[in-house]
Amino acid sequence: MATTAEHLKCKECGRTYPLEALFVCEYCFGPLEVSYDYEKIRRRATKERIAHGPPSLWRYADFLPVNEKPAVDLQAGYTPLIKADRLAAELGLKKLWVKNDTANPTHSFKDRVVAVALQRARELGFEVVACASTGNLANSVAAHAAASGTEAFVFVPANLEIQKIIATAIYGVNVVKVRGNYDDVNRLCTEIASEKKWAFVNVNVRPYYAEGSKTLAYETAEQLGWRAPDKVVTPVASGSLLTKIHKGFWELGEVGLIRRKAPSVHGAQALGCGPVAAAFQDGAEHVKPVKPDTIAKSLAIGNPADGIFALEVARQTGGSIESVTEQEIVDGIKLLAETTGIFTETAGGVTTAVLAKLAASGKIYPDDETVLYITGDGLKTLDAVADTISTYEIDPNYSQFEEDVLGDIIKS
Ligand SMILES: *Cc1c(COP(=O)(O)O)cnc(C)c1O
Ligand SMILES: [Zn+2]
């Protein structure tokens, strides 16, 4: 079935372009975004049709810029939405849910954006896929390329966590470690994209890639019984995810699947790479690029492409963009683990720490229905917390167990 997407539209000047591998406006250099025929979506996408769809993001195919679902696919999405009563109690909140996107095929929300980007790339006739990655995108592009037998080139900063490098190279794709930070990698990829006819998922097919993030909002609404929460807390790297969660809830209202409502959107960054948070706090119109220095490497984008739009969404919806220290990130990872059983990577530590800050400062009220987006798995960033855990070690001997373990517990 032909897609409900109509064209690409410049976010700055509104000029429209055909649904091809384009990403900037020729006139004003603004970024392009997919726009849809919402009448068509309203007619097609009934609650019944969605409920009968696959248990993956493809149940929302009517809202995505693809003509068909992929033939071979890792079934990303439709991850659990978990009522987090113990975490809520700890923070003085009453109605808190965690959207656990660590449950995706390569353990981060990037599987959503990659699934959509690669399907569109296939429809546009690309034979090679590529990406500039802070880590999770690399894992996901590599896995999806392997699943469909597509050639892939994955570019990452050379200092990336070893877990993320291994979990990319294992798929047999070309991994290129670039001596520089993410912003350097991204610049190089933009240059390569102008030379080679490759689909760089977050460069020349970025408008399609970005749409995949909307499915986080659709799933949240469906899992809450077709309504939007009052507040959402979401990490910010390039700012794309934040803006698309907002777009997703807006679209559901537009096509009549939920009552119109824009949740307050709160963005989370690390203080060591918080250009959007800094702009929010300063009331600035522009986002000033920074040099990243944080353990939250998957959020370490110093010059965020959609930072300005994330800022706009936070301001328009009565939300905010906050930043937290390295220690708060580690504490956030532990708090989430100890109260929900979900082990998140550093990005989720950032998000959890920002939620704690918002609850403590009264920006989130106890009765607000709040959804916390946890976007990546803790097994990918073990080094961040390796020094903070404690264990016992004993000989296989009962009296030693009593003395060294139970004795120690009684003392403390
Ligand atoms: C990529 C990523 C994000 C945010 O991505 P945006 O560039 O802001 O869309 C958040 N969390 C994790 C774990 C990521 O890998
Ligand atoms: Zn334009």
Q: What is the structure's pLDDT at 221?
A: 98
- Read off the pLDDT of residues 121-153 as tens digits, 9 standing for 90 and up: 999 999 999 999 989 999 999 999 999 999 999
Compute the distance from residue 372 Cα to the ligand 2 centre, in Å: 34
Ligand 1 is surrounded, with C-beta below 6 A, by 108, 110, 136, 235-241, 298-299, 345, 347, 375-376
Is residue 170 a part of any domain in this protein? no
Is residue 376 a part of any domain in this protein? yes
- CA atoms of 154 and 169, how far apart (whole Å): 9
Residue with CA at minimum distance from ligand 1 atom 5 = 237
| Residues with Cβ–ion distance below 5 A, ligand 2 | 10, 12-13, 15, 25, 27-28, 30
- Read off the pLDDT of residues 74-116 as tens digits, 9 standing for 90 and up: 999 999 999 999 999 999 999 999 999 999 999 999 999 999 9
Atom number in ligand 1 closest to CA 239: 8
Q: Number of structural domains, the chain?
A: 1
Atom number in ligand 1 closest to CA 241: 9
Structure tokens at 6: 């109509």
- CA atoms of 101 and 78, how far apart (whole Å): 9
Residues 6 or more apart in contact with residue 348 via CB below 8 angstroms:
102, 235, 332, 333, 336, 342, 374, 375, 376, 378
Compute the distance from residue 297 Cα to the ligand 1 centre, in Å: 10
Residue 94, domain extent: 81-107+210-387
Is residue 405 a part of any domain in this protein? no
Torsion of CA 71, 72, 74, 80, to 10 degrees: 20
- Ligand 1 pocket test, pick from 106, 298, 380, 381 with the greatest ligand atom count within 8 Å of Cβ, gives 298
Any idea what DSSP says for residue 200?
Answer: E
Q: Which ligand is nearest to the CA of 299?
A: 1
Strand-strand pairing, 16-17 and 5-10: antiparallel
- CA atoms of 5 and 63, how far apart (whole Å): 8
Is residue 262 a part of any domain in this protein? yes
- Read off the pLDDT of residues 10-36 as tens digits, 9 standing for 90 and up: 999 999 999 999 999 999 999 999 999
Enter the pTM of the model. Answer: 0.96
Is residue 70 a part of any domain in this protein? no
Compute the distance from residue 152 Cα to the ligand 1 centre, in Å: 21
Q: How far does Cα 80 stand from its chain's mean position?
A: 15
Q: What is the CATH number of the domain that holds 266?
A: 3.40.50.1100
- Read off the pLDDT of residues 251-298 as tens digits, 9 standing for 90 and up: 999 999 999 999 999 999 999 999 999 999 999 999 999 999 999 999
Q: What is the structure's pLDDT at 412?
A: 77
Whether residue 185 contacts residue 158, with contact meaning beta carbons closer than 8 Å, is answered with no
* 3-state secondary structure (DSSP) of residue 192: helix
Compute the distance from residue 31 Cα to the ligand 2 centre, in Å: 7
